[in-house]
Amino acid sequence: MGKLAWKILGTGGPILAGIIATKLVDTVWAKAGQDEVNPKNPDAPVVKALTYAAVMGLAVGAARTLAERQAAQYYRRSAGHLPKDIRTEPV
């Protein structure tokens, strides 16, 4: 498994996970009875905008991190080592 494969796995997986997490948060937000909110809109209530932004940020960040970790584990199983940009180097 080469550098190109890692670029596809290490980038594509987290991007897809972020998109899925965004859709999931939007769906859960709507099912919870909350109105659609645009956190950038100055007319949106501050508390609601900050809550939405915090939930979205946490969900997307966690999904992207987990996807990249899974991609690195798959790469290690396939290639026998971690990708160069993920390997831990002694300080």
pLDDT reported for residue 90: 62
**Rounded CA gap, 23 and 17, in Å?**
10
Domain tally, the chain: 1
pLDDT reported for residue 91: 52
Q: How many CA atoms lie within 13 A of 41 on its CB side?
A: 9
Tell me whether residue 91 is in a domain: no
Tell me whether residue 90 is in a domain: no
**Rounded CA gap, 39 and 49, in Å?**
4
- Write out the residue range of the structural domain in which residue 8 sits: 3-79
| pLDDT at residue 1 tops 70 | no
pLDDT reported for residue 54: 95
For the segment 11-67, what is each residue's pLDDT rounded down to a tens digit? 899 999 999 999 999 999 888 887 778 888 899 899 988 999 999 999 999 999 999
Tell me whether residue 36 is in a domain: yes
Q: What is the CA radius of gyration of the chain?
A: 18
Tell me whether residue 89 is in a domain: no
Buried b (16+ CB within 10 A) or exposed e, 41-63: eeebeeeebeebeeebeebbeeb
